[in-house]
Amino acid sequence: MTYPDARYFEEGGESSATLRPADAGPDLLVGPADSDRVHRGTQVHYLGTGGSTNGAFGLYRWEMGPKPSGPMPHFHRTITESFYILSGTVRLYDGTGWKDAAVGQFLFVPEGGVHAFRNESGEPASMLLLFTPGAPREAYFEELAEIAATGRRLSDEEWTDLYLRHDQYMV
């Protein structure tokens, strides 16, 4: 294993870092608000997108409410995905079965690795999701959120098209 080829060629460094405040609100809300207008679904924070990291990675904080949520088993052909549990318990599928993952546990999934995640604990849970390289996953998340918010029903062909556009292969 070696360092990758250089991507920066100037003599000195530059001031180009970005800082996201810890109290920044979510970039995406998935699921409806309750009758008291409190959102109890999933809140997604775009910490570092493929666009903001020059395609290096995508990093998202995924804060799930107490209701069951998460995708069914699937794989990606072009990206890896990693999960790091920040709070609560998240059920992770590692290709062999579902495992309850607690705070501090980490799962790495290479290209082609079957995986999934769900919050079935009845309590809130949060995790970091890391994609490498930095694919435009926000568009996928936003489309799923719009489908959930509007109740729009997709045909099998429309689901297939959505998944193909976003490197998502259901198993």
* DSSP class of 10: -
- Cβ–Cβ < 8 Å for 151, 73: no
* Pairing state between β 116-118 and 90-93: antiparallel
The sign of the dihedral angle between the CA atoms of 128, 129, 135, 138 is negative
Per-residue confidence in pLDDT tens, the chain, 171 aa: 999 999 999 999 999 999 999 999 999 998 866 555 555 789 999 999 999 999 999 999 999 999 888 999 999 999 999 999 999 999 999 999 999 999 999 999 999 999 999 999 999 999 999 999 999 999 999 999 999 889 999 999 999 999 999 999 999
- Cβ–Cβ < 8 Å for 70, 95: no
- The pLDDT, as a whole number, for residue 69 is 87
How far is C-alpha 9 from the geometric centre of its chain's CA atoms? 32
Which helix (H) or strand (E) segment holds residue 58: the answer is strand 58-64
Find the helix packing angle between 156-165 and 137-150, rounded to 10°: 150
The pTM score is: 0.92
- The pLDDT, as a whole number, for residue 41 is 86
Looking at 3.50.50.60, 3.30.70.100, 2.60.120.10, 3.40.50.720, the CATH number of the domain 28-170 comes to 2.60.120.10
Domain residue ranges of the chain, discontinuous segments joined by +: 28-170
- The pLDDT, as a whole number, for residue 37 is 54
- The pLDDT, as a whole number, for residue 32 is 66
Rounded distance, CA 117 to CA 127, Å? Answer: 10
